[in-house]
Amino acid sequence: MHLLRLSLLTAAFCLLSASAQDHPNVVIIYGDDVGWGDLGCYGATKIPTPHLDKLAAGGLRFTDGHCSAATCTPSRFSMLTGIHGFRHNVRILAPDAPMTIKPGMLTLPELFKKAGYSTAVIGKWHLGIGDGKTPVDWNGEVKPGPLEVGFDYSFLLPSTNDRVPCVYVENHKVLNLDPADPLFVNNKPADFEGTEYPDGRKNPESMTYYKNSHGHNYSVINGIGRIGQMWGGKSALWNDETMGPEFAKQARKYIAGRKDHKEPFFLFWSAADIHVPRAPHPDFKGKSELTYRGDAMVQLDWCAGEIMAALEENGMTDNTIVIFSSDNGPVYDDGYEDGTTVKTSTKEIDRGHDGSGPYRGGKYQIYEGGHRVPLILRWPTKVKPAVSNATINQIDFLASFADMLNIELKNDQAIDSRNHLDALLGKDANGSEILVSEARDLAIRQGEWKYIASGGKKGKNAAKKPIGGELYNLKNDLGEQKNVISEHPERARQLQAMLDQVRTGKGMRTGFKAE
């Protein structure tokens, strides 16, 4: 009897631990505009990032990790849906833009939910809110949003930190909103009587935090000019200098709240750092040698440390996959005079730091600096610490996690996502043979060859353009300095043909064959 009970217990324990091994918690810490060279473990010397360096030392540090695009919205869209943004015309969104993720698209959080996970997003969204038909009611139910596409809980910066509305949205509600001072975005009713904010175009002196250099001069909130206009909602305004710590606090709360639950969780923790306007908490000011931008990076590193501490305190470190990455490459002056400009009209300032590391270009650009980003993955019980040169695209997370969770994808789901779980876990040194990246143009890489097409992303004309573009051999020329297209026209033509196949085909997983 005793023996039987014991063996039953052992069996139950084995089952439990087997499922915990296939169903670890997953936390994605997603930086905003963090470049390949912005972390100590990637070579930065002027920005201390001890927490992320520790994460890397305990896991895999990828040298060839990529977001799918050189800007935020398409990269996030691709990571969460496994579909290239250009297929749905996904671009940087206006403050009141509707949802980019459409009903029926399988998302990463939905995948985890199918496997019994709880899911949450905390931080920057910038994937649109609303259905595009009825304007979003900021004073009522703010939806559809993340809760409608697979997240059980959301605590959001709805657009970006340089765009209105400057309020947090928890699930379907604007947090701390006073109904007596209703919130309006981009349009207000004729009889509006609530809070009016200065307009930076008429009152530039109201932009006291720092001046705008271009574009950010509509509603001025907390002394910072923003993209777009808002009215009302004063009691709900965020404080820019506490935003980083606030998101860290929310992560701590969420993680601690999961402790007594049997089911694992997926947390997409999406920072506003180090996007403009950089306004780090006073605790971090001057903590790097690189003014606001570097200090914001120190803050982001601290936040990552808070998340790791929360996992540790709740006994979750061993069985949690923690991923750190970014949504696009680095940018310096991106609309505010915050002292991080590296180029002036007369000279280039050498600050002893290049956010792109050895790579060319940065945010908005199709060169490596635009989309090759830091990528770290730690899973103490399964992944041995190492540096991996495997090529990884975030768009492949979905199919890779589907494999881990033993879920079969249908052909019409996550059509561009391919399974590279082995590379992600350090068991395959190569990863993706083909990498497609997007900025204004598209690029395709096969091994050491990278071809940048010019002529747009869609339509017949794009495919019919005579061979132009640029060709680089990344093995000899990591910095993309020498365009060798005239030496290797055949190679360029072959890559162009593959890109056309990607563009017009049914997707990278089932509708594509490398040549």
Assess contact for 359 and 367: CB atoms under 8 A.
yes
Closer of 75 and 413 to Ca ion (Cβ): 75
Report the amino acid identity of residue 306: E
CB atoms within 10 A of CB 153: 18
Q: Which does 38 bind (CB under 5 to 8 A by kind): ligand NG6, Ca ion, none?
A: none
Assess contact for 515 and 497: CB atoms under 8 A.
yes
Question: Nearest approach, Cβ of 269 to Ca ion (angstroms)?
Answer: 15
Closer of 372 and 378 to ligand NG6 (Cβ): 372
| Residues 54-93: x where in contact with Ca ion by CB under 5 A, - otherwise, as a string | ------------------x---------------------
Tokens of 153: 């809980």
Question: Nearest approach, Cβ of 360 to Ca ion (angstroms)?
Answer: 18
Q: How far is the C-alpha of 52 from the C-alpha of 37, rounded, in Å?
A: 13
Assess contact for 448 and 440: CB atoms under 8 A.
no
Closer of 87 and 275 to ligand NG6 (Cβ): 275
Question: Nearest approach, Cβ of 375 to ligand NG6 (angstroms)?
Answer: 17
- The DSSP call for residue 283 is G
Assess contact for 182 and 139: CB atoms under 8 A.
yes
Tokens of 447: 């091994």
Is residue 246 close enough to count as binding Ca ion by CB under 5 A?
A: no
Q: Which does 276 bind (CB under 5 to 8 A by kind): ligand NG6, Ca ion, none?
A: ligand NG6
Question: Nearest approach, Cβ of 327 to Ca ion (angstroms)?
Answer: 4
Cα 80 versus chain centre, distance: 9
Sheet holding 153-157, edge to edge: 173-174, 169-170, 153-157, 118-124, 265-270, 25-31, 320-326, 375-378, 60-66, 386-393
β-strand partners of 25: 320
Q: Which does 467 bind (CB under 5 to 8 A by kind): ligand NG6, Ca ion, none?
A: none
Computed on alpha carbons and rounded to an integer, the radius of gyration of the chain in Å comes to 23
Residue from 288, 325, 328, 413 that binds Ca ion (CB under 5 A)?
A: 328
Question: Nearest approach, Cβ of 173 to ligand NG6 (angstroms)?
Answer: 24
Look at the chain and count its residues: 515
Closer of 214 and 506 to ligand NG6 (Cβ): 214
Interface ranges with ligand NG6 (CB under 6 A): 32-33, 71-72, 92, 126, 160, 162, 214-215, 227, 275-276, 328, 334-335
Q: What is the DSSP string of 66-93?
A: E-SBSSHHHHHHHHHHSS-GGGGT--PP
Is residue 38 close enough to count as binding Ca ion by CB under 5 A?
A: no
β-strand partners of 266: 26, 119
Question: Nearest approach, Cβ of 96 to ligand NG6 (angstroms)?
Answer: 15
Is residue 327 close enough to count as binding Ca ion by CB under 5 A?
A: yes
Closer of 213 and 510 to ligand NG6 (Cβ): 213
Could you tell me which of 13, 20, 97 has the C-alpha nearest to residue 315?
20
Q: Which does 457 bind (CB under 5 to 8 A by kind): Ca ion, ligand NG6, none?
A: none
Q: Which does 509 bind (CB under 5 to 8 A by kind): Ca ion, ligand NG6, none?
A: none
What are the respective helix, strand and coil percentages of the chain, to the nearest 5? 30, 20, 55
Q: Which of the stretches 32-40, 93-101, 241-249, 393-401 binds Ca ion when contact is defined by CB under 5 A? A: 32-40
Is residue 32 close enough to count as binding Ca ion by CB under 5 A?
A: yes
Closer of 96 and 327 to Ca ion (Cβ): 327
Is residue 423 close enough to count as binding Ca ion by CB under 5 A?
A: no
Sites of contact with Ca ion (CB under 5 A) = 32-33, 72, 327-328
